[in-house]
Amino acid sequence: MLNTNTPEIQFAIHAVRQASILVQQIQVEMIQTALTKDDRSPVTVADFAAQALVGYLLDQHFPNDAMVGEEDSAVLQTPEEHQTLAQITKFVSRFTKGATPESVCAWIDRGSAESAPRFWTLDPIDGTKGFLRGDQYAVALALVENGKVQVGVLGCPKLPSPSGRRAGDEGTNNGSIYIAARGQGAWAAPLADETNLTPIHVSPLTDPTQARLMRSFESGHTNVGQMDYFSQALGVQAEPVRMDSQAKYAVLASGGGEIYLRLLSAKRPDYREKIWDQAAGAIIIEEAGGRVTDLHGQALNFGLGRTLANTRGICATNGVLHEHALKALQEISA
């Protein structure tokens, strides 16, 4: 059973839930036809506001802990971004005391730390295009100690709780939250009531030809052509499940798919995964009974800086299909 009385677990759940509510409010009040972060769009405001809020909450609960986050405030402190910073401050002030442009920037910059023996890593909005389209996105927070994730929480405002959900079916919902702690299993709850915990488990499927591949709408960080070759090598006959963000990890962990890959894009062969893109989702899959490695089957090390520096891509599965997936990866790269 999950020990929700542990201060770290309590903090992670509270911070992700509050940040998820905050970005939902920004989405409702600001959404427009912006398509990239460079537009200083609603996703820009939401990214910075969520990181500021988690930085503020970290100051309240674990002031001595480092945080490795996606954003820093440098761009917000330019004259051109004065209005953007004012918008961010307005939203953050709904959830904090004493929010000013200066304090908001300081809270954001809590995320500028390098990795340490113990630190938190945050992706304030994973799946920016999904956020803008009104599709899947996630707030992802994890606690890392000595290179290994100990606690991971995903806030998925567009993803229903696992009860009664079909893979890829978003339905009408108020979102969900996914929680895992090392040795304590993986759990899901409605975002509106994080105390209503349900244990989640990966799919027991053993036939690789029936495996449902978790595939993204966006292709920026993966190799779409190789994904097709992988599917052929594995003999997959099932339709893939398509969605944005680490919400894929939540769905895989709760039995809605079997395999998720991050292959190196031909356009970015030297790309290395950012730790905040993987930490929370990885522990949730592992504690749900699955397995997460790089494309060569090596364990992920989250203690090497802001990236998984020694890791090439990601292979996440329901566990029983992992060796099948690694074998197929070897075939397509031979």
Give the Cα separation of 333 and 108 in Å (integer): 40
Catalytic residue among 89, 128, 293, 317: 128
Active site residue: 47, 123, 126, 277, which one? 47
CA dist., res. 166 & res. 324, Å (int): 25
Which H/E stretch holds residue 331?
Answer: helix 322-333
Question: Distance between CA atoms of 279 and 257, rounded to whole angstroms?
Answer: 19
Is 6 catalytic? The answer is no
- Would you say 328 and 234 are in contact if contact means Cβ atoms under 8 Å apart? yes
Helix 82-92 and helix 42-61, axial crossing angle in degrees, nearest 10: 50
Would residue 128 show up in a list of annotated catalytic residues for this protein?
yes
Q: Is the dihedral of CA 236, 242, 245, 248 positive or negative?
A: negative
Nearest Cα neighbor of 281 from 152, 175, 110 is 152
Residues taking part in catalysis? 47, 128
